[in-house]
Amino acid sequence: MKIAAARESSPLESRVALTPDSVKKFVALGIQVSIESGAGLGSGIADDAYTAAGATVAASAAEAFANADIVVCVDTPAEDVLAHIPQGSILIGMLNPLDKLTDFSALNARSIHAYAMEFLPRISRAQSMDVLSSQSNLAGYRAVIEAVAATSKTIPMMMTAAGTIPPAKVLVLGVGVAGLQAIATAKRLGAVVSAFDVRAATKEQAESLGAKFIEVPAADNAETSGGYAKEMDDDYKRRQEEALAAVIKTQDIVITTALIPGKPAPELITKAMVASMKAGSVIVDLAAAAGGNCKLTKRDDAIQTENGVVLLGYTNLSSRAASDASPLYARNLFTFISTLMFDKTTKTLKILSDDELIKGTLVTKGGKTVHPALVA
């Protein structure tokens, strides 16, 4: 059995799907590993580290993929890279399956069996494979770091002979994995933190980290069975807008993380709210890839509004912490593959096709798109 990886196609992607640690684990199982030269440089991993771990370092993606049973990636490879993946083999990565721009025709043309890790069912035994959690955690941390770098305001309270500097005020919208880490990071830096989420169950989590929770009572349960937020009715949205408008104008930093799977990101910050904010305030929109939680967000761009508010719309904040994001992601993939796709007795590929984790992540098979969420 052979596993391979290449350099990521996107110039914005610094992560890599294999690390020396995961290579050692695969090799210990009797699995061959091949990786394209330079694939780990964005994560601070030199080719020599892969060689020392037992991998073969290839001069090109084509060489790395030759005779591979499984190809692992962070993002879907570009078509010229996909062309080198062996016909009928397996591709595993974050394939962005719910994005309306995602096209699986190139994968289907090569009968590649593709597994999108974003579709992994959120059950207890899948926690060690959950790439969304491992990467969102770092995105939440990095969002605070980017905001701090963009603001001229100091974060903790400082008492000096010339006077006292009040602490920065930080508002986090969306209390999922990324939001919770943003709260924790901002608190560690000394900020006064507030948080909002439509899911009432998140109040206790936010408050446990020291945030003040902004409540907007909802008549119905605002949480899906998968733990995500539901889209709310117009009356709730009106009351939510009023509550946020009253708070946001006092904030130095706002970090938004609200997403609804398969739908555009909910608009939480209006133009009027941005206009009410102080010059020098910073908004970091982690939902930029899905359209943004702020009306003014520009995807993968940093802008300054007419009233001096800085708005950051970076779509890949986890990649800005690649030295730690890559090892976590690689461990997620190792657990997924070694648990669900490998026979330790025969040391060969053996997919547990009836397992709900396999069924839940399989998006293309035998030249067809097969996932229920993608088939009309």
Domains and CATH numbers, the chain: 2-130+322-367 (3.40.50.720), 151-315 (3.40.50.720)
CA distances to 16, 139, 142, 297 from 321, rounded to whole Å, are 12, 8, 7, 22
* 233 noted as active-site residue: no
Q: What is the pLDDT of residue 105?
A: 95
What pLDDT, on a 0 to 100 scale, did the predictor assign at position 99?
85
Q: What is the mean pLDDT of the chain?
A: 94
What SS3 class is residue 192? strand
The catalytic position among 9, 228, 236, 276 is 228
pLDDT on residue 225: 55
Set 14, 133, 135, 181: catalytic member: 133
Closest CA to 69 of 54, 90, 97: 90
Catalytic residue among 122, 188, 239, 338: 122
| Residue range 90-100, pLDDT digits in tens | 999 999 998 88
Is 240 a known active-site residue? Answer: no
pLDDT at 220: 66
Residue 229 has what pLDDT? 64
- CA–CA distance from 4 to each of 16, 19, 22, 168 (Å)? 11, 11, 12, 46
Does the structure show a pLDDT above 90 at 166?
yes
CB neighbour class for 339 (10 Å; exposed up to 12, middle 13-18, buried from 19): middle
pLDDT of 228 reads 61
**pLDDT value of position 375:** 87
Q: Is 103 a catalytic residue?
A: no
Q: Given this model, what pLDDT does residue 261 score? A: 81
Contact (Cβ atoms closer than 8 angstroms) between residue 75 and residue 96 = yes
- Classify 115 as helix, strand or coil: strand
133 is catalytic: yes
Report how far apart, in Å, the C-alpha atoms of 192 and of each of 184, 187, 325 are: 11, 7, 27
- What percent of the chain is predicted at pLDDT more than 70? 96
What does the pLDDT read at residue 227? 57
Is 199 a known active-site residue? no
Q: Which range is least confidently modeled, 109-118, 141-150, 166-175, 367-376?
A: 367-376
pTM for the structure as a whole = 0.92
- Tell me which amino acid residue 306 is: E
What is the C-alpha separation between 135 and 181, in angstroms, rounded?
Answer: 11
Spot the catalytic one: 105, 127, 323, 353: 127
Look at residue 217 in the predicted model and tell me its pLDDT.
82
Q: Which amino acid is at 360?
A: G
- Structure confidence by residue, pLDDT tens digits, 322-365: 999 999 999 999 999 999 999 999 999 999 999 999 999 999 99
Instruction: Scan for tokens 């904030």, then name that residue.
Output: 251
The answer to whether the CB of 64 falls within 8 A of the CB of 88 is: no
From 14, 50, 69, 130, active-site residue: 130
Which has the minimum average pLDDT: 191-205, 220-234, 245-259?
Answer: 220-234
**CA-CA distance, 73 to 248, in Å (whole number)?**
39
Locate 235 and state its tokens: 């009356």
Q: Whole-angstrom Cα distance, residue 177 to residue 134?
A: 9
